[in-house]
Amino acid sequence: MTGDLTKFTSLKLKAKGHVTYGDNNRGRILGRGTNGTRNSTTIQNVLYVKGLRHSLLSISQLCNKGYKVNFKSNGCTISHDW
């Protein structure tokens, strides 16, 4: 999920729903779409959440959907085989 509209290559707006963070605060879901660029791996079903200042990523959800996540000391890469 992200609060940065510029990260989306496509977005379908929706006006209902909330996510609850670990500190029990809530964020309003404004839409769902695809995140990425033409030159990078795209991730589908990314939530657009009002006011979210940092993008949040679930590694286990990505792995369950067939993505590979590789960590290095200076960052990580996300890829897929399809």
DSSP letter string over 2-67? BS-GGGEEEEEE----EEE-TTS-EEEEEEEEEE--TTS--EEEEEEETT--S----HHHHHHTT-
Residues 6 or more apart whose CB falls under 8 angstroms from that of 58 comprise none
Distance CA 43, CA 34 (A): 6
pLDDT band at 40 (very low <50, low <70, confident <90, very high): confident
* pTM assigned to the model: 0.81
Domain that holds residue 39: 5-79
Residue 80 scores a pLDDT above 90: no
What is the domain count for the chain?
Answer: 1
